[in-house]
């Protein structure tokens, strides 16, 4: 394993406090290594803890608890990052960490990693925003612990606010010129903050994110992304966030591995922004509930209203990605949809139709958005069409769509559905699920956002490549969908599998896009 020779950038936070001292010798997870455990050999009590840890967090809390709060990570940056010359005077940042029922070890490892890797002259404070947690360890024990750390304070919401309003509480309380938000299960690495502060010092309307590395949810191994493996943030027409590759055109604009990478959107949890810029941009829509869409709202408006959104490749922070949320959603998952509709109403202009189509035009009550529309007007922002043409042209494929809707098989009456592993299955056509909404384009693609239906000898779903041969289909009046290069038709076999077959006149080869008409206003 690599031993670091480089000296710490500043140790004022570290040397004086025994809790922050470097741990000597070997320990689990050192340098970001994995911690593997054998569940079979555990005692009954340990097993109980192990399963409870997964249940409470949807990550391996048992393993996280074995790793010191202070674990040292490798310096994962590109070598060029060490030669960057930073301004001596940079704005100071408040680091705001919102949490709801976070595990002790992940929360405090986040805090420790900030203290250890941030020169104190750039760190105004760390604010922990407790969003109405119920776990006992987050009450008095947390308060007592935090008292022993420099510059950390806790603020608590009076009711469950949800992540978005919790971040706004932090915004209100923060004293720093810059605000840096982190999730409550992160690990900051060597000199992570300075590249972001520098960019903001150069341009007050710059919003920046670190490269978000992955802390494995099972072993807590630290996986880093660098060079071409760094993804940008994008969005899909069902208004979900996604990571996307940096295409050739974008890559051309990046001259060195330390250059900022323009990103159409951000994942949401980890970013830095000037406090006054965030205020000027109207922070987040206060009508948003719990979680979701706030990252797209802020991304769209940064670009549309005169700012920039970039990833700083010399700044790396690990985040524990998990498959699902452990916590309750006070209003159920419908919050996600309401947030999305508010977002579309305000920021998408005529493109909101693309989203609504994929919701089957079921909008429900999404409240009043007039204040947010006024904000957009007052800020004199660009249109969403401008955003697409200038910031995320990859999404303009949507202009070539002939029809979009669930694709139904005449024999079974069920619809195409991409499973999480990218294989195709059939599902009920009435399921309100954007993954059911295929679009047929003028160039013969059948696609869901950046993924295209393609076929060699079997049918697959791939990232659209513009390769007309394997991704080109023709929909006939008869309902046949012909795969051009193989001259075969889409078929549903007796096992319910979607296959390619010799074209014949049979209902299993007949398909139709269910047209979803916009309901007429009464």
Binding site residues, ligand UDP, CB under 6 A: 98-100, 102, 131, 162-163, 166, 183-184, 269, 290-291, 322, 325, 327
- How near is the Cβ of 162 to ligand UDP at its closest, in Å? 4
Of the pair 161, 183, the CB lying nearest Mn ion is at 183
- How near is the Cβ of 40 to Mn ion at its closest, in Å? 30
Nearest CA-CA partner of 521 in 345, 363, 366, 374: 363
Sign of CA dihedral 361, 364, 370, 375: negative
The residue sitting closest to Mn ion, measured at its beta carbon, is 183
Of the pair 25, 323, the CB lying nearest ligand UDP is at 323
Query: Which does residue 122 touch among ligand UDP, Mn ion, none (CB within 5 to 8 A, set by kind)?
Result: none
- How near is the Cβ of 320 to Mn ion at its closest, in Å? 7
Residue partners of 29: CB distance under 8 A and separation at least 6: 35, 66, 67, 68, 71, 220, 221
Of the pair 183, 190, the CB lying nearest Mn ion is at 183
H-type helices in 174-316, by residue range? 194-202, 248-252, 275-280, 294-304
Of the pair 279, 325, the CB lying nearest ligand UDP is at 325
If phi > 0 it is left, if psi is from -120 to 50 it is alpha, else beta; for residue 202 that is alpha
Query: Which does residue 291 touch among ligand UDP, Mn ion, none (CB within 5 to 8 A, set by kind)?
Result: ligand UDP
Element (H, E) at 456: none
- How near is the Cβ of 319 to Mn ion at its closest, in Å? 6
Of the pair 163, 188, the CB lying nearest ligand UDP is at 163
Chain Cα centroid distance, residue 347 = 19
- How near is the Cβ of 183 to Mn ion at its closest, in Å? 4
- How near is the Cβ of 109 to Mn ion at its closest, in Å? 13
Please give the C-alpha separations between residue 183 and each of 66, 154, 200, 267, 472, in angstroms, as whole numbers: 20, 15, 21, 11, 42
Are residues 446 and 401 in contact, defined by beta-carbon separation less than 8 angstroms? Answer: no
- Contact stretch for Mn ion (CB under 5 A) within 9-17, 177-185, 230-238, 442-450: 177-185
- How near is the Cβ of 405 to Mn ion at its closest, in Å? 34
Nearest CA-CA partner of 108 in 136, 67, 75, 77: 67
Query: Which does residue 166 touch among ligand UDP, Mn ion, none (CB within 5 to 8 A, set by kind)?
Result: ligand UDP
Of the pair 8, 214, the CB lying nearest Mn ion is at 214
Sign of CA dihedral 66, 68, 69, 71: negative
Strand, helix or coil for residue 1: coil
Are residues 363 and 356 in contact, defined by beta-carbon separation less than 8 angstroms? Answer: yes
471 binding Mn ion? (CB under 5 A)? no
DSSP state of 159: S
- How near is the Cβ of 399 to Mn ion at its closest, in Å? 34
- Give the tokens for residue 404: 């979009």
- How near is the Cβ of 271 to ligand UDP at its closest, in Å? 12
Of the pair 182, 407, the CB lying nearest Mn ion is at 182
| Binding residue (CB under 5 A) for Mn ion from 183, 191, 217, 310 | 183
Q: Which residue has the tokens 């940056």?
A: 77
Of the pair 272, 441, the CB lying nearest Mn ion is at 272
The DSSP-derived string for 416-445 is EEE-TTS-EEEE-TT---GGG-EEEETTS-
Query: Which does residue 493 touch among ligand UDP, Mn ion, none (CB within 5 to 8 A, set by kind)?
Result: none
Of the pair 59, 303, the CB lying nearest ligand UDP is at 59
Query: Which does residue 100 touch among Mn ion, ligand UDP, none (CB within 5 to 8 A, set by kind)?
Result: ligand UDP
Half-sphere exposure of 155 (CA within 13 A, CB side): 20
Which residues contribute to the site for Mn ion (CB under 5 A)? 183
């Amino acid at each position: 394993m690599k031993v670091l020779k480089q000296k710490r950038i500043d140790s004022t936070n570290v040397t004086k406090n025994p809790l922050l001292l470097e741990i000597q010798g070997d320990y689990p997870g050192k340098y970001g290594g994995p911690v593997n455990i054998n569940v079979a050999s555990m005692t009954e009590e340990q097993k109980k803890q192990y399963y409870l840890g997964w249940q409470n967090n949807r990550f391996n809390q048992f393993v996280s608890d074995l790793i010191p709060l202070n674990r040292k990570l490798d310096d994962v940056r590109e070598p060029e990052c060490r030669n960057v010359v930073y301004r001596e005077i940079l704005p100071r940042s408040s680091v705001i960490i919102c949490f709801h029922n976070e595990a002790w070890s992940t929360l405090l490892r986040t805090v420790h990693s900030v203290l250890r890797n941030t020169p104190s002259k750039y760190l105004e404070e760390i604010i922990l925003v407790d969003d109405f947690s119920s776990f006992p360890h987050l009450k008095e024990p947390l308060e007592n612990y935090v008292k022993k750390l420099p510059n950390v304070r806790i603020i608590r919401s009076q009711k469950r606010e949800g992540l978005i309003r919790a971040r706004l509480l932090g915004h209100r309380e923060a004293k720093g010129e810059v605000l840096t938000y982190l999730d409550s299960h992160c690990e900051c690495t060597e000199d992570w903050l300075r590249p972001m502060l520098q960019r903001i010092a150069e341009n007050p309307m710059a919003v920046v994110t670190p490269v978000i590395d992955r802390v494995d949810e099972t072993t807590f191994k630290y996986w880093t992304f660098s060079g071409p493996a760094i993804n940008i943030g994008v969005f899909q027409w069902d208004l979900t966030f996604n990571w996307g590759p940096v295409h050739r055109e974008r890559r051309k604009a990046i001259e060195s591995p330390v250059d900022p990478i323009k990103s159409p959107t951000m994942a949401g949890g980890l970013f830095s922004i000037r406090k006054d810029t965030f205020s000027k941009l109207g922070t987040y829509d206060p009508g948003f509930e719990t979680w979701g869409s706030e990252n797209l709202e802020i991304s769209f408006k940064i670009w549309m209203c005169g700012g920039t959104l970039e990833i700083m490749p010399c700044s790396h922070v690990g985040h524990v990605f998990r498959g699902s949320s452990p916590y309750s959603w006070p209003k159920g998952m419908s919050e996600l949809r309401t947030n999305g509709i508010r977002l579309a109403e305000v920021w998408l202009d005529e493109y909101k139709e693309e989203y609504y189509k994929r919701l089957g035009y079921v909008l429900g009550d999404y409240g009043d958005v007039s204040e947010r529309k006024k904000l957009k007007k007052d800020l004199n922002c660009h249109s969403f069409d401008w955003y697409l043409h200038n910031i995320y042209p990859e999404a303009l494929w949507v202009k070539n769509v002939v029809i979009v809707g669930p694709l139904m098989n005449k024999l079974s009456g069920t619809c195409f559905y991409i499973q999480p592993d990218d294989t195709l299955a059939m599902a009920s056509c009435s399921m309100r699920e954007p993954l059911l909404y295929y679009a047929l384009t003028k160039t013969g693609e059948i696609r869901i956002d950046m993924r295209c239906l393609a076929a060699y000898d079997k049918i697959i779903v791939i990232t659209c490549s513009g390769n007309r041969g394997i991704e080109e289909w023709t929909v006939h009046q008869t309902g046949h969908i012909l795969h051009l290069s193989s001259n075969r038709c889409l078929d549903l076999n007796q096992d319910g599998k979607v296959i390619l077959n010799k074209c014949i006149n049979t209902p299993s080869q007949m398909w139709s896009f269910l047209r979803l008409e916009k309901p007429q206003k009464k």
